[in-house]
């Protein structure tokens, strides 16, 4: 049994195998209707709990559809409706759920909740986003890059904006898949020091460049995310917007990237804040391929977790 808690805590060989499996499963479906099952049914007879303590469109639907395509069944649960949201401990919840289901995916606030769930569950636990990381998203992003441009190793990836949870998983992927990561954003919203140390230790130190034009120059991939994450206080909204406005990804900025550079955003986006609609709907953008690949990448993650 394997948990999938983060990219930096998963073996690099397993990460590569997950991406390859995801691509093979996507190809095998060859555009067939979404509601049809895969030829292989590795999750037949399996029950998957999908727990959400925060809103979700992509994670919720892609996990649910992915389980069904592989022959399993799902229970989509809101943390607030469970006793978990009313004082039952995470450890007890994990032990009880393990008696009913074969796999748990949880989207939560504190990373400690995810780790405690994994510690006490007898079944695999998947990180569907915490305040600190979002590994499933970046597995889909690596898959999407490679689908369009081949191996991501040694490519220049530039993150413009908030050094948040999605950035953190990009930093982990830089270390594990071996690409160069540049961060451009205000110092007040720098990523955690731990991620700088992690990447430096992997021989892929993160470059910090406060000037977005210099940062994006010759990029193979430009990425951004919302300026205010779900766990950020709404009271910080105006301050964050003021700090991050110079880091908006717009057509003028994208001109400095390579001609064939890709643009990614995990979505949901606040159009014309962190990225303009001209970029999101423009020739560099692969945002909807990214969203689709959540489905394929997570199907491969679930197979890895269950060893099927
Ligand atoms: N990108 C992502 O995780 O989207 P949702 O919040 O809609 O799940
Ligand atoms: N950084 C965002 C990602 C949403 C998918 C958040 O945590 O709200």
Angle, in degrees to the nearest 10, between helices 165-177 and 193-201:
10
The answer to whether 133 touches 169, Cβ cutoff 8 Å, is yes
- Is 99 known to be catalytic? no
Q: How confident is the model at residue 116 (pLDDT cuts 50, 70, 90)?
A: very high
Residue 224: per-residue pLDDT: 99
Residue nearest to atom 7 of ligand 2 (CA): 229
Residue 30 has pLDDT above 90, yes or no: no
Number of residues that this document lists for the chain: 308
Q: What is the pLDDT of residue 255?
A: 98
List the catalytic residue out of 3, 266, 284, 298. Answer: 266
* CB-ligand 1 contact for 182 (6 Å cutoff): no
pLDDT band at 31 (very low <50, low <70, confident <90, very high): confident
Q: What is the mean pLDDT of residues 285-291?
A: 98
pLDDT number for residue 288: 98
Q: Which residues pair with 182 in a beta bridge?
A: 158, 207
**pLDDT value at residue 20:** 98
> What DSSP designation does 178 have?
T
Mean pLDDT of 284-294: 98
Cβ(202)–Cβ(185) under 8 Å?
Answer: no
Establish whether 210 is a catalytic residue. Answer: no
pLDDT tens readout for residues 125-154: 999 999 999 999 999 999 999 999 999 999
* Whether 162 contacts 189, CB under 8 Å: yes
φ/ψ (deg, to 5) at 75:
-125, 115
Amino acid 258: pLDDT: 98
Question: Cβ(223)–Cβ(160) under 8 Å?
Answer: yes
**pLDDT tens per residue, range 258-282:** 999 999 999 999 999 999 999 999 9
- 136 alpha carbon, closest ligand: 1
pLDDT of 19 > 90? The answer is yes
DSSP-derived letter for residue 86 is: G
Ligand nearest to the CA of 230: 2
When the pLDDT of each residue in the chain is averaged and rounded to a whole number, the result is: 98
Of 28-37, 176-185, 226-235, 276-285, give the lowest mean pLDDT range.
28-37
Q: Assess whether 204 carries a catalytic annotation.
A: no
Mean pLDDT, range 91-104, rounded to an integer: 98
- CA nearest to 297, candidates 72, 59, 22: 22
The separation between CA 73 and the C-alpha centre of its own chain, rounded to angstroms, equals 23
Q: Which of 48, 124, 68 has the alpha carbon at shortest distance from 305?
A: 124
For residue 46, give both structure tokens.
């399996």
- Residues 117-123: what's their mean pLDDT? 98
pTM: 0.98
Q: How far is the CA of 42 from the centre of ligand 2 (A)?
A: 30
Cβ contact 234:193 at 8 Å = no
């Amino acid at each position: 049994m394997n948990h999938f808690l983060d990219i930096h805590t998963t073996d690099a060989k397993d990460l590569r195998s997950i991406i390859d499996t995801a691509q093979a499963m996507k190809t095998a479906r060859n555009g067939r209707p979404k509601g049809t099952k895969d030829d292989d049914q590795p999750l037949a007879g399996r029950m998957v709990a999908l727990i959400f303590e925060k809103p979700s469109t992509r994670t919720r639907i892609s996990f649910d559809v992915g389980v069904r395509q592989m022959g399993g069944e799902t229970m989509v649960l809101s943390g607030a409706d469970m006793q978990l949201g009313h004082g039952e401990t995470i450890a007890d919840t994990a032990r009880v759920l393990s008696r009913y289901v074969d796999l748990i995916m949880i989207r939560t606030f504190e990373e400690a909740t995810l780790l405690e769930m994994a510690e006490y569950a007898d079944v695999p636990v998947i990180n569907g986003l915490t305040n600190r990381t979002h590994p499933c998203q970046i597995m889909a992003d690596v898959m999407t890059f490679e689908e369009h441009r081949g191996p991501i190793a040694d490519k220049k990836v530039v993150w413009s904006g908030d050094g948040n949870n999605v950035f953190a998983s990009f930093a982990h992927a830089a270390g594990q898949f071996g690409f160069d990561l540049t961060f451009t954003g205000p110092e007040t919203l720098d990523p955690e020091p731990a991620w700088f140390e992690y990447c430096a230790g992997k021989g892929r130190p993160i470059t910090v460049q406060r000037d977005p034009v210099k940062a994006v120059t010759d990029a193979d991939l430009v990425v951004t995310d919302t300026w205010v994450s779900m766990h950020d206080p709404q009271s910080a909204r105006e301050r964050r917007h003021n700090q991050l406005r110079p880091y908006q990804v717009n057509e003028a900025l994208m001109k400095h990237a390579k001609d064939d550079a890709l643009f990614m955003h995990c979505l949901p986006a606040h159009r014309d804040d962190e990225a303009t609609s001209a970029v999101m709907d423009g020739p560099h953008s692969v945002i909807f391929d990214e969203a689709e690949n959540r489905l394929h990448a997570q199907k491969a993650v679930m197979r890895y977790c269950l060893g099927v």
